[in-house]
Amino acid sequence: MLQGAAVITGANGDRFEFNYVDNLVEGQAFYYKAGGNDIWEERRYSRGLAQGAATLHLPGGDVEERTYEGGVLHGTATFVSHKGDREERCYVNGRLDGPAKYYYPSGAVETRIYENGVLQGEEEFFYSSFTLFNTVSIYIVLYYI
């Protein structure tokens, strides 16, 4: 029977640090992407499945607070860039899906639509202090780990 702390390192260098309880991953765990510790995620496990709040750390200080249900990303997530931009978005069965609000440090707000993990549209309009802005949509590179 597997019990206690464990570390698995993949052939590509990815590293997963966790605890076994009765042969299942249980409690706090850390996943580190190969190539340093620029991309890593802290998550919790229950009976072998990722469950509840998790924090994904990305290069440059970007962070996403997200939620796992039954081992997959599901529910509201908040992405915050190192520049102060913030996006409130939703995962459905592991993929970004539905409307998202992107908040710029200037106070401008952009509505984005995701369908099956893909940002939709080419051009978005938004208002800030009653001034109309036109901008090309910014496509965020997502890291799925």
pLDDT of residue 137: 37
- DSSP single-letter state for residue 1: -
Cβ 85 vs Cβ 78: under 8 Å: no
User: Which residues have CB under 8 Å from 65's CB, separation 6+?
Assistant: 53, 54, 55, 77, 78, 80
Q: Is the dihedral of CA 70, 73, 75, 77 positive or negative?
A: positive
Q: Kindly give, in sequence order, each residue whose CB lies less than 8 Å from that of residue 36, ignoring residues fewer than 6 positions away.
A: none
List the domains of the chain with CATH numbers.
4-136 (3.90.930.1)
Average pLDDT across each block of 10 residues of the chain; the chain has 145 residues. List them in order: 95 94 97 83 96 94 96 97 95 95 92 92 51 38 41
Alpha helices (H) in the chain, listed in sequence order: none
Question: What local confidence, expressed as pLDDT, does residue 84 receive?
Answer: 92
d(CA 125, CA 7): 47
